[in-house]
């Protein structure tokens, strides 16, 4: 697949009343499975997290289950073949009519290939760095799309608006967002940007 191919994306839904999770085909693919090979559960989801990321993610899920809300976290997972993936997961708490939290739903974006392109010396050298710059912007757009549930065009508008408002070049704005995602603060940064209505 080419470097400009879309990042794999999966959706999930988990009910606190059932051990079984609902996965889209993209979630099976990211985790290295075909649909029907395994039954996705919360235990399986946690087992695939990188050991160093497992505890903070469990703590985050516990907080969301107790308090509700939404979170975005940039972390690592290990697929069924042992390969490491760098992913962005956006999680929303599901509540019933009485306000009781009943589960989670959300998106996962596999940024592994995009990050590899960004880090590659060959791609950074190509066309005096323009190739790597595009990868950074595309990665930031994907993060905005998942965090705010908007389309590609709207995600680019948000980046461009922030660039103009702060008189900062677009790649620098995108890089700052990626750095925030790496420490699990993408949502806080987007809230601080005070993004305009779309």
Domain boundary among 82, 110, 138: 110
Please report the pLDDT score of residue 149 as a whole number. Answer: 78
Residue 63 CA from chain centroid, whole number: 19
Please report the pLDDT score of residue 44 as a whole number. Answer: 94
Whether 105 and 17 share a structural domain: yes
Half-sphere exposure of 2 (CA within 13 A, CB side): 4
Tens of pLDDT, residue by residue over 16-42, are: 999 899 999 999 999 999 999 999 999
Q: Judge whether 3 lies within some domain.
A: no
CATH code for position 94: 3.30.450.20
Q: Is the pLDDT of residue 87 over 60?
A: yes
Q: Judge whether 160 lies within some domain.
A: yes
Nearest to 132 by CA among 143, 122, 140: 122
How many folded domains does the chain comprise? 2
Instruction: Say if pTM beats, i.e. exceeds, 0.85.
Output: no
C-alpha angle 143/86/35, rounded to 5°? 95
Hey, how many other C-beta atoms are within 10 angstroms of the C-beta on 60? 16
Whether 131 and 80 share a structural domain: no
* Sequence-distant (≥ 6) Cβ neighbours of residue 125 within 8 angstroms: none
Q: Which domain holds residue 142?
A: 115-193
- Convert 73-89 into a string of H (helix), E (strand) and C (coil): EEEEEECCCCCEEEEEE
User: Which residues in 87-98 are b (16+ Cβ under 10 Å) and which e?
Assistant: bbbbbbbbeeee
Q: Is 100 exposed, middle or buried (0-12, 13-18, 19+ CB in 10 A)?
A: exposed
């Amino acid at each position: 697949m080419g470097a400009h191919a879309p990042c794999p994306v999966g959706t999930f839904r988990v009910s606190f009343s059932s051990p079984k999770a609902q996965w889209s085909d993209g979630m099976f693919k990211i985790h290295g499975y075909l649909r029907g090979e395994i039954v996705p559960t919360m235990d399986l989801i946690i087992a695939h997290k990188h050991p160093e990321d497992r505890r903070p993610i469990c703590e985050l899920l516990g907080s969301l289950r107790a308090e509700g809300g939404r979170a975005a976290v940039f972390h690592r997972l290990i697929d069924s073949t042992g390969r490491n993936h760098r992913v962005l997961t956006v999680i929303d708490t599901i509540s019933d009519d009485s306000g009781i939290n009943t589960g989670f739903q959300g998106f996962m974006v596999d940024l592994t290939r995009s990050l590899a392109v960004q880090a590659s010396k060959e791609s950074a050298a190509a066309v005096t760095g323009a190739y790597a710059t595009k990868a950074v912007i595309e990665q930031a757009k994907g993060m905005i799309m998942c965090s705010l549930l908007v389309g590609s065009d709207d995600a680019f508008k948000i980046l461009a608006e922030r660039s103009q408002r702060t008189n900062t070049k677009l790649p620098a704005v995108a890089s700052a967002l990626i750095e925030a995602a790496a420490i699990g603060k993408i949502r806080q940064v987007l809230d601080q940007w005070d993004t305009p209505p779309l």
